[in-house]
Amino acid sequence: MTLPPRSAVVHEHTWNRESVFATPDGWQKELEAVKGVLAEVKKYPGHLGDSPDVLADWLELVHETENRVTVLYLYATMEQSVDTTNQDAAAMMSQVRSLQGEAQAASAFAEPEILSLRREKLDGWMKQHKRLALYAHYFDDLFRLEKYTRSGEVEAVLGLLADPFGNVTTTYGLLNNADLPFEAARTGSDEELPVAQSTITTLMSNPDREIRRTSYEHYNQGYLTFKNTFASLLATSVKQDVFMAKVRGFDSALEASLYQNNIPRSVYDNLIETYKNNLPTWHRYWRVRRKALGYDTLRPYDFWAPLTNQPHVTFEQAVNWISEGMQPLGEAYVSAVRKGCLEDRWVDIYPNQGKRAGAFSFGAHGTHPFIFMSFANTLQSMSTLAHELGHSMHSYLSRQHQPIVYGRYTLFAAEVASNFNQAMTRAYLLQHNPDPQFQIAVIEEAMSNFLRYFFIMPTLARFELEVHTWAEKGKGLTADAMIKLMAELFAEGYGGEVDFDHDSVGITWAQFGHLYSAFYVYQYATGISAAHALADGILTGKTSAVDNYLKFLSAGGSLYPIDALKMAGVDMSQPEAVTRTFEILASYVDRLEDLTAR
């Protein structure tokens, strides 16, 4: 199996980057134009309180400029993600990161200056001027964060730090996706199969246990070979989180992260506690999987081993199944999905040489919501597509209904829409195809998803909190210490049912770039919980469930995420949704045990 070079990928299978900028020259011209706009920003310091119109002019300018920078970043990302060896794309990314830092520094004066106008004055201006009225939530959030906002001079310095601080993530990405070598996997007949970020998921679900074993071992060994470099990068990122929290006056990096989106600490604690209380469900699943495979010992490279013949799913079939699953949301939603996937080229579909790992959805006001993935003609690939289409439709509807200032939603809300699409599609497939082998395959897809979002991510969340605590207490963040912690947390989750190599499991933290975005990973687990609660409401015909969910998707960032989800029909400040999702997980384990026992 040889991956094609990027140049050999069929045009129709690539995402529509030319809809963003027709050529790289167009991108460069826009970069220079935005630099020129930043000169306009210099006219505003000291004048935001001159009149309501001046303030409105400023807010429109700054948010429009931010969006233009995002579009520039999007295009550079599209170029670099599909070919991490592309030096021109790397140069573009460097340029736009510098521009981001300049933009942040140039606008850093504004929030302290707006805060100095005081809330009463702004409330009066909003009542009298429609241009300012739409910023009510923006101002509310600004004053909520007031005590953690520093002077204009300090905010300018923090803005300038964005570029050099961002280099740690860039370096991780280059090492992880471009420079990290992996020994090839081997079949029982000693045939070699390339191990790469874009192939590892497919290799780990191969029926051949020798392929899975060698893929797993060689993949992890690649990270272990560079364990000290990866540890240094993660330690630097963690220390940056701690630094920023201290500068702003937060007691901890976790508090800083949660406060940014107005998330109560109880949400994090409830998740971790509920997860720990329900670990026996995972222990039972390992036993069911081991028996279904007929093994004496279950190992981590058996987690994705197929329990039945996996259906071949083309990209077109995946789009059709997802569209059928999302029919309860209405024809407008489904039509947008079909057109985006099959006509407008939202998706960069298949793997190629140099393509980075993972999948994501990304866009801006004025662009399509693009999807990056490596489709492998499997149910799991269909699930990934459904997940990313959840993000994309969330963005699509938010941008349709909200101005630029509210076009972005928080990470906490983001993982709801993605997991919701998977839950709805899965329910459709289980309902409409009673064949036991197909049912097993769908449940395997479900368990693979739960494994990532409801087992690995909560474990990473526990790891992340502990590592940040170490940094806050001045404890050294070494590779061996982090490997030991990670292995201990996974051992607790395995409950003695899985035989594992300490270092191979312990290096898992190095494989997740999510850890470079502070306290991101826990939101996968809260997201999958809210998603299943909301999907249940729609599937059981709960009154107004569809309308409320569509309102949530259309709200963007105009509400705090806890409030937006309450509007949709779930209260994530309480642990019930997490508990209910563990009940759903347990039901899948029951169903799988019954089907495989037959």
Q: Which domain holds residue 80?
A: 6-160
Most distant CA pair in the chain, distance: 78
- The verdict on 156 and 238 lying in the same domain is no
pLDDT band for position 529 (cuts 50, 70, 90): very high
Cα dihedral 198, 203, 206, 212, rounded to 10, equals -160
pLDDT band for position 1 (cuts 50, 70, 90): low
SS3 (DSSP) at 10: coil
Residue 99: its pLDDT value, please? 94
* 589: in domain: yes
* 185: in domain: no
The helix (run of H) or strand (run of E) holding residue 454 is none
Q: What is the CA radius of gyration of the chain?
A: 24
- The verdict on 150 and 239 lying in the same domain is no
Q: Domain boundary residue among 160, 193, 217?
A: 160
- The verdict on 408 and 496 lying in the same domain is yes
The strand ranges marked E within 426-561 are none
* 167: in domain: no
- The verdict on 139 and 252 lying in the same domain is no
- The verdict on 538 and 415 lying in the same domain is yes
CA distance linking residue 407 with residue 560, whole number of Å: 13
| DSSP helix, strand, coil percent of the chain (3-state; round to 5) | 70, 0, 25
Q: Give how many domains the chain has, as a whole number.
A: 2
CA distance linking residue 438 with residue 27, whole number of Å: 47
* 67: in domain: yes
Q: What is the mean pLDDT of residues 513-517?
A: 94
Task: Write the Ramachandran bin of 262: left for phi over 0, alpha for psi from -120 to 50, otherwise beta.
Answer: left
pLDDT band for position 152 (cuts 50, 70, 90): confident
Q: Domain boundary residue among 105, 140, 160?
A: 160
- The verdict on 156 and 288 lying in the same domain is no
Cα dihedral 498, 501, 504, 507, rounded to 10, equals 80
* 322: in domain: no
CA distance linking residue 477 with residue 471, whole number of Å: 7
Q: Is the pLDDT of residue 283 over 70?
A: yes
CATH code at 82? 1.20.140.70
Q: Is the pLDDT of residue 158 over 90?
A: no
Q: Residues, the chain, total?
A: 598
pLDDT band for position 250 (cuts 50, 70, 90): very high
* 388: in domain: no
- The verdict on 19 and 129 lying in the same domain is yes
* 44: in domain: yes
What value does the mean pLDDT of the chain take?
95
- The verdict on 475 and 588 lying in the same domain is yes
- The verdict on 587 and 500 lying in the same domain is yes
Note the pLDDT tens digit of each residue in 125-150.
Answer: 999 999 999 999 999 999 999 999 88
**Side chain identity, residue 576:** E
**What b-and-e string marks burial along 219-254, b requiring 16 or more CB atoms within 10 Å of the CB?**
bbbbbbebbebbbbbbbbbbbbbbebbeebebebbb
* 30: in domain: yes
- The verdict on 562 and 413 lying in the same domain is yes
Contact (CB, 8 A) for 2 and 191: no
| Cβ neighbourhood burial of 137 (10 Å; 0-12, 13-18, 19+) | middle
CA distance linking residue 45 with residue 153, whole number of Å: 12
Unique residue bearing structure tokens 């937006």: 564
- The verdict on 281 and 136 lying in the same domain is no
Ordered DSSP codes for 513-537 = GGGGSTT-THHHHHHHHHHHHHHHH
Residues annotated as catalytic are 388
Q: How far does CA 65 lie from the centroid of its chain? A: 24
Residue 315: its pLDDT value, please? 98
pLDDT band for position 303 (cuts 50, 70, 90): very high
* Encoded tokens for 375: 């489709």
- The verdict on 151 and 245 lying in the same domain is no
Q: Domain boundary residue among 108, 135, 160?
A: 160
CA distance linking residue 589 with residue 286, whole number of Å: 10
pLDDT band for position 189 (cuts 50, 70, 90): confident
The helix (run of H) or strand (run of E) holding residue 23 is none
CATH code at 414? 1.10.1370.20
Contact (CB, 8 A) for 159 and 107: yes
Rounded to the nearest 5 degrees, what angle is found at the Cα of 147, between the Cα atoms of 141 and 150? 100
Q: Is the pLDDT of residue 163 over 90?
A: no
Q: What percentage of the chain reaches a pLDDT higher than 70?
A: 100
